[in-house]
Structure 1
Amino acid sequence: MTSYAGGSKLVDIKGRSCAAAEECVQASINFGVSKTLITTKCCTSDLCNSQDAPEGSISSPNGKKCFQCDGNDCTKTLNCNGNEDYCISSAMTAGGQKVTLKGCASKLICSETQSAQIAAITGAEISCCQGDLCNSASSTTVGLLLFVTPLISLVLFS
């Protein structure tokens, strides 16, 4: 899992374990100024996971557009990349302030299992939708963006 902020690598986490076939995925969550990529490499024989998974790369735009937040303005549009085929909205309260993030996400991030895990650990409310710009453009406050993205990402490995 690799998280980027403003184009610079912020977090790089590597791990090895046993996994179910459905956990062998490539996924990402993209809030515009920050993006997290999850890349897995799976194998089926004993002790076959001695090498790191290949590092994910930011892929090219796929034609889908979602709203993103920039400060208090959640009316900007974001071009989704690669397998980001959902728009995502996430809201949580941190330090007494409501924090809202909007952007693009892969199907895995929006699955009921993953969004429930993220909600349980971070207290965030997450909703996903599939139409262009379906994550509404209401204005909200966005602080802590660089803190929340790696935190949500870490949930995927717990």
Structure 2
Amino acid sequence: MRLLTLIFGIVLLPEAYTLKCLRCLPDASRACITTEWTCHSRNALCATRRISSFAGDAKMSDVHLKTCVLQDECSEGSVNFGISRIVVTSHCCTSNLCNAGNAPEAERHDTNGHKCYHCDGERCSLTLTCAGNEDHCITKTVNVGGKIKITKGCASRQMCSATENAQIKAAIGGEMTCCRGDFCNGASITNAGLLLLVTPLVSLLMFS
């Protein structure tokens, strides 16, 4: 009898500790159909996320997601290219279907002293002072019609992490590399332009 109890316990324990969360990922029309989803990891939390894109102080887009995340993904992160910025905020909870609400609005943070290169037109040797928890420098490359476009800036560790989900990587757009240390992303001359502001928004909708 004890052996049967132990066997049933081993079989049922993973199910007992796996959360069911609301899942809602927008499509190309930004429609979002909410469904119930069983998280794959027993360490997962239910989360609501907001991905906000800014050009200067003007908000360009606000995309809401609901999904399962791991604990280290449940935080605020941002990528700052100087003239554009992408901010991800999250709200996480630990009970079944608890992620019905929306994540909080992105807040404006003070500069933190870290410095990276960023681009202005063809020049990528300008200084950008990072803000909030942006503690990495980032270089993003986008292939546009066979030409490589480069832009640089500051980023949070969370946005550089390989464990970030596909929606956040699509929001950033292009191939990105991160490094730790002031001006570690190197000055260069490039053909970066307004298209680099638009590409992440298009990518987010295509790959969500």
TM-score, normalising length: structure 1:
0.86
Give the Å deviation of 1:150.
3.1
Unaligned runs of 5+ in 2: 1-50
Tell me which of the two structures has the higher relative contact order, counting C-alpha pairs closer than 8 angstroms and 6 or more residues apart.
1
3-state SS, counterpart of residue 15 of structure 1: strand
Give the Å deviation of 1:121. Answer: 9.9
Equivalent of residue 17 in structure 1, options 67, 77, 87: 67
Instruction: Specify the SS of the correspondent of 1:25.
Output: coil
The answer for unaligned runs of 5 or more in structure 1 is: none
Distance 1:117 1:56, change over 3 A: closer
The 3 A distance-change label for structure 1 pair 114 and 133 is: same
Match for 2:201 among 144, 150, 153? 150
| Structure in which a larger fraction of residues adopt strand | 2
Counterparts in 2 of 1:25 and 1:68: CA distance versus 1, 3 Å:
same
Query: Which of the residues 110, 115, 120 maps onto 1:70?
Result: 120
**Residue in 1 that maps onto 2:137:** 87
Aligned partner (choices 123, 126, 140) of residue 176 of structure 2 = 126
Deviations 1:24-75 (A, max 9, x none): 1211000000001100000011222222111111211000010000000101
Identity %: 47
Q: CA, structure 1 residues 123+50, in 2 after alignment: closer, same or farther (shift >3 Å)?
A: closer
The alignment status of 1:32 with 2:82, answered yes or no, reads yes
Aligned in 2, Cα 1:148/1:114: closer, same or farther, shift over 3 Å?
A: farther
Q: Which amino acid aligns with 1:147?
A: V
2:64 alignment partner, SS class: coil
Contact 1:86 1:130 in 2 (8 A): yes
Alpha-carbon distance in 2 for matches of 1:102, 1:110: 13
Q: Secondary structure at the match of 1:13?
A: strand
| Amino acid in structure 1 at the alignment position of 2:123 | D
8 Å CA contact 2:79–2:156 kept in 1: the answer is yes
Q: What number of residue pairs does the alignment pair up?
A: 156
CA radius of gyration, larger in: 2
SS in structure 2 of the partner of residue 41 of structure 1: strand
Amino acid at match of 2:196: L
Alignment partners' CA distance in 1, 2:173 and 2:83: 22
Given that 2:134 and 2:154 are in contact with CA atoms closer than 8 Å, whether structure 1 keeps it comes out as yes
**In the TM superposition, what whole-angstrom CA distance separates every residue of 1:67-121 from its partner, at most 9, and x where no partner exists?**
0000001011101000000000011211232210100000011113349988899
State the 1:6 CA deviation: 2.1
Secondary structure of 1:4's match?
strand
